[in-house]
Amino acid sequence: MINSISDIQSNNKFSGTVLVKANENVLADISFGYANRSEQIKNNANTRYGIASGCKLFTAIAVCQLVEMGKLSFDMKLKDCLDIDFSNFDSDITIHHLLTHTSGIPDYFDEEVMDDFEELWVSNPMYKIRSLKNFLPLFQDMPMKFKAGERFSYNNAGYILLGLIIEKASQLDFAEYIQEHIFKKAGMEGAGYFEFDALPPNTAVGYIDYPDGTWKTNIYSLPVKGGSDGGAYVTVVDMVKLWETLMSNGLLSKDYTQLLLNPYVQVGDEDHFYGLGVWIEKKGTDILKYHVMGYDPGVSFHSAFYPENSSTVVVCSNKSNGAYKIFKGIEDELNSLNHYEEK
């Protein structure tokens, strides 16, 4: 498997770390490229990477924990959760709508109509985005995109609202809640919501490459500190621990873990669904994989858990692209191995 990963890497200059684990067996643990190009510091197994939207799963787990504690319910209305004016939003929007991207609220970065994330910071400087409330002016007064519950539309703003709901229900700062109730419980020692201007040791710098061979870092392309819609940092080992703890009901009870991983909304073809903070691929009634991913300028990330054989794949990159090709190559090889074993 390592040879095939290296072959793909040589074709797309992948920069990052890959970890593949099946039960207790590590099938691949390999790093490429530099965490810091200027100083030529190499990526390694303990490098912390930004994972962009990959951490929406953390937000969804936190909401489920608070529902399980009795502090929230999935059918609570947004208007009853926050003392914030959303005069243009439907009064029927629920927490469940926000979790499943079916709320219809406007998004501050609408991936259906926008493709340049950096445009956001022209009138709203990224260096001022350090808390969840700092995101509100980007979408708070905009009109609804469609009626609540009408359809699926991937929405970052909805997860910002979920983070604010978590803060109010728990009386903790969002990042503090995730650190205490998810990262610590799962043993994710390298994970955190760090600020660009105060990054801890062994954190990969994100790089944006240009066709002429030049590059820049992503420090002026993203908010100073990530939030409940994206922007946490993890190591590949942290992400494996997250999957293992979640799937063994270490973060939620069995019933609530099943609620989190239930395929609520069909997305695209008949085999692809969205649960709560997680993508789900099915074949008939069988679950093939649970999947999270994230893309930002200078960040690409894919990770999945395959319930049939309890295998986990984590691909973290500090470039804007490249993670998917590595991830797809690993998945193809895992499928080939499974077919061989069946024969």
Q: Tell me the residue range of the domain where 13 lies.
A: 2-342
Which one, of 23, 321, 241, 9, lies nearest residue 1 by Cα? Answer: 9
Residues 6+ apart with CB under 8 A from 185: 245, 250, 251
Query: What number of other Cβ atoms are within 10 A of residue 194's Cβ?
Result: 19
Query: What number of other Cβ atoms are within 10 A of residue 144's Cβ?
Result: 16
Along the 343 residues of the chain, how does pLDDT read in single tens digits? 677 788 888 888 999 999 999 988 999 999 999 999 999 999 999 999 999 999 999 999 999 999 999 999 999 999 999 999 999 999 999 999 999 999 999 998 766 665 666 666 666 766 678 899 999 988 999 999 999 999 999 999 999 999 999 999 999 999 999 999 999 999 999 999 999 999 999 999 999 999 999 999 999 889 999 999 999 999 999 999 999 999 999 999 999 999 999 999 999 888 999 999 999 999 989 999 999 999 999 999 999 999 999 999 999 999 999 999 999 999 988 887 664 454 4
CATH number assigned to the domain comprising residue 134: 3.40.710.10
Which one, of 1, 33, 58, lies nearest residue 238 by Cα? Answer: 58
Say what the pLDDT of residue 200 is. 97
Maximum distance among all alpha carbons in the chain? 60
Q: What's the one-letter identity of residue 195?
A: E
Which one, of 115, 250, 96, lies nearest residue 187 by Cα? Answer: 250
Q: Are 300 and 323 in contact (CB under 8 A)?
A: yes
- C-alpha–C-alpha distance, residues 170 and 72, integer Å: 10
Reported pTM = 0.94
Number of structural domains found in the chain: 1
- C-alpha–C-alpha distance, residues 235 and 300, integer Å: 13
DSSP letters spanning 156-189 = HHHHHHHHHHHHHHHTS-HHHHHIIIIIHHHT-T
